[in-house]
Amino acid sequence: MIGVALLVMLLSACSKITMANYHKLSSGMTRSEVVAILGEPTESSAGSLLGLEGEVAKWEEGKLRINATFVNQKLAMHSLERPELASRE
């Protein structure tokens, strides 16, 4: 039982989905730069039209969610969601 708790603590300590890492993101970064900071997204969907590529990606860890929109592999928009804060409004 102690081993399982220790493993969970170690895995959560290694998470890249943090507010500190969110604040490292800036518009214009390449998708590769974002993935180097956050790791591969939890979910993503992509498409292309008339020479433009688009992707919407989401990273989730616990109660923290980071959303990103890429256009031609460049970060166009990103947002941070913390559901426990939204429920206080």
Q: pLDDT tens digits for the chain (89 residues)? A: 665 444 444 454 578 999 999 999 999 999 999 999 999 999 999 999 999 999 999 999 999 999 999 999 999 999 999 866 555 54
Q: Residue 13's pLDDT is what?
A: 54
Residue 11's SS3 state is helix
Number of domains composing the chain: 1
Q: Is residue 43 part of a domain?
A: yes
> Do residues 16 and 39 touch, judged by C-beta distance below 8 A?
yes
Tokens in use for 37? 């900071």
End-to-end CA distance of the chain: 38
Strand 43-49 and strand 74-81: the pairing is unpaired
Can you give the CATH number for the domain in which 58 is found?
3.30.1450.10
Q: Residue 82's pLDDT is what?
A: 85
Q: Is residue 80 part of a domain?
A: yes
Q: Which domain holds residue 80?
A: 16-86
Q: Is residue 30 part of a domain?
A: yes
Indicate the residue type of 74. K
Which residues touch 1 (CB under 8 Å, ≥6 apart)?
Answer: none
Q: pTM higher than 0.85 for the full model? A: no
Q: Is residue 8 part of a domain?
A: no
Q: Is residue 65 part of a domain?
A: yes
Q: Is residue 42 part of a domain?
A: yes
